[in-house]
Structure 1
Amino acid sequence: MANKKKHHMDHNKLELAKHLANQSKRISSQYDRFVQKIIHFIHYASTGIDRVLFNAKYAKVVSLVLAALLYVVVNYNDITSLYKTSLKTSRTVQNVAVYVQYDTQEYEISGIPTTTDVTITGDATSVTAASTTNGKVVADLTNLTEGTHAVTLIAEGFGDSVNTIVNPSNAVVTIKKKVTQQFAISYDIIHRDKMDGIYNVGTPQFASSVVNIRASQDTLNQIAFVKALIDVSNQVADFEQDAKLVAYDANGQIVNVDIEPQTMHVYVPVTSPNKTVPIEVKIKGTPGDNQAVASAVADKQTVTIYGTESALLDVDKITVEVDVSNLTKDTTVSQDITLPTGITSANVSTISVEVKFGAGTTKTISGVPINYKNNVHNYKATQSDNITTMDVEVFGTQDNISKINENDIYLYIDMSTAEPGLHEFEVKVEQPTTGLVKYSLKNNKLTLTVLGDQNTQQKEGE
């Protein structure tokens, strides 16, 4: 049994050896074929190169290629340097903040620009990265004393892989010791257009009437006034706020100083003074086709106005003018209300006026007395024909002129520029406020003898 097993194992080993021998022969055969192909390719390539190199037909081409290769080898460093240079780029970052390294609490620094431009140069990637960093420009004054100095501005924070150029790169700096001085404060109301016009701002009450300002004496001497800027945006009642303080010179330009405190607490009263007054429609212009205005009636008879107390006292009515030039037919006119000075708002901004026309006619009113106005020197005036009255023509609709008599008409001579002697004067007539009728004079000239002491006049004018 044991001999049988041994015989079987020897047989297997023999078979394995035969298999390995066959595999080795196949590999050796394949390797020989591969080597033959390589030798054949080299032989073919060598033959091709020989045909080109040693063929007169290709001599010039070969010479050119060899010359180019020789040039590249000899100038390799210059070419690579040129390649690298061509990849460099630059970018200018504008308005880069300038930081001052000095004791600005105790000293005033002038002459340093607030911003500069920085040009960054390097490869494109580095320049892009540097231009997006928080770089800055520094003016280092730490070793300087009071006086005027020339300093160099240095760019920092842009990285070591780029070059930087600051523009401007230099500044003439003046260093002065700061001193403290007290100033009284006044105020300005700002954003008044953002506050409803029906409201009025009263007198502000400040926590303190003075502030301390630190600057050089030369700068302090430039300050004309210090103002608290009170913002009234959307305020409808009394309010309090911390108002910003600003120093100005005599021309209204801001003076850059240290104000202590920078804001001032203020209480501001807000009121809404108002008054209701009548609306008066006044006719302006002359209708066409011998027409006259029969009536002009507004859709609103009164208006409530808002403003300061003093402004309200001066207003007893609101006049709205309606131009009827060349109109001949009844119409309704929309007219804006114009507010007098000091009046900030009204509850009515526009009114509609219904205008009606009628046939125009004229009547003459006789014996209207002549008055003298502005006789500041108390002159006496005489007229050779003793004319003291004039006839006045009244034009309008029949209904309107029938209501007019001599007591409604005022004739006058303006004596404000009169001098003693014989002079011709113009007689003027005051037109009615409504404009529904119009007055005119056929003859509006009158010769008067003015009596008075001219020397007295001159003394009064001195």
Structure 2
Amino acid sequence: MGKNKKELGHIGYKISAVLLAIVAWLAVANISDYQTTRQISNIPVTQINGDVLDELDQVYDVVSGDTVDIIVKGRRSVVGTLDKDDFTAIADLSTMSITDTVSISVEAKSNTVQSEINITCVDNTMKLNLEEKVTQQFPIKVVTTGSTKNGYAVSGTSSTPNIVKVEGPKSAVEKITEIRASVDVDKKYSSFETESELHIYDAYGEEITNDKITLDVASAKVSVEIYATKSVPIEVNLRGTPGDGYGVEGVVYQPQSVELVGPADALAKIETVDVDDVSVSGMTEDYQTDVDIRDYLPDGVSVVDIPPEITVNISITKLEDKKLTVTVNSFVLDKQVDGYQYEVTINNFTITASGFADVVSKLTLDDVVPTIDCSGLPVGNHGNVTVTLKEIDGVTYTMSGTVSVNVTNAENK
């Protein structure tokens, strides 16, 4: 009996020891898993209900609040394992205030975690910048890159569609200069079609990337025409006459030839590019003009590489006059009839040559060769006969006075 009581007493001590151990463990665990706080930064904020602003024809940019920082309070064992990926931050744009701000709400993705922590936002406000939404149409510009096979060139390009509708913030759309579709033609020697993505560029040739700008199509079907090339000379022919006393001393233009591209049958018909509408009428001083070669080409033919304009420089110089002394022996009597004798008489007859100084100053009667055609002169005295002079480039003549020829029959003398 006493022995049993003793054994029961030992069991009670053991149970008490276990209970004390459990209590001690719980106390230690509670002390080690204490309440703590921690800041978690740069949680991305998701915007919802943005279609509310679309209905008002407005777009927005986030000025501040695209990420949020929070203070998390809870047990160390929970808080210590958390990072920004464990939270969801929401900004409901339909609740935007008159100051263009939206409150940010943050929750833990896990309901269990959410129930064990307290969350405080460092700054729970998203600031928006609202702007008018505009729509504008732009032509699609096809840009080729690379070099075609030697002897071939791009003759023309086109795209389908050829117009794109752009929508976005007014300030952003106003910066757009071009919508480009780029196509690689490296080593190509025949026409082809391809699909090309559209890209937006500003006036400085820099690509614009803005997720608030949208295009009604993302790409275009581009057609590229490639043909063999042909080099032909350029000829400039002037029209009209300079002012009185002035002449065209020279015409200089660059380039003097041009490389053309187009269908073979069209190129075969082109031997020169004739520029024939540059006028010098009434001019008394040097003149320069730019001529677009494309204006003188048939449909389907275009200029390769170089700018399609040529610069034409025309030198207008005042003409010099020189009077040539004429005697009766100065004339050449052409086509004389056998048996006839010819006697020339001049009456105040003079020849004045006009032209550029370097030419006129060297002229003599031997150069001018005053000539009378005797074939139509019968026996008798012929007053004011026609005198012809040798044509010399850049020289014009003025004759005054008269020339008479007396024709006699030598057999009657």
- Return the TM-score normalized by structure 2: 0.38
Higher-RCO chain (CA-CA 8 Å, sequence separation at least 6): 2
Q: Which has the higher strand share?
A: 2
Q: Which has the higher helix share?
A: 1
Q: Which has the larger radius of gyration?
A: 1
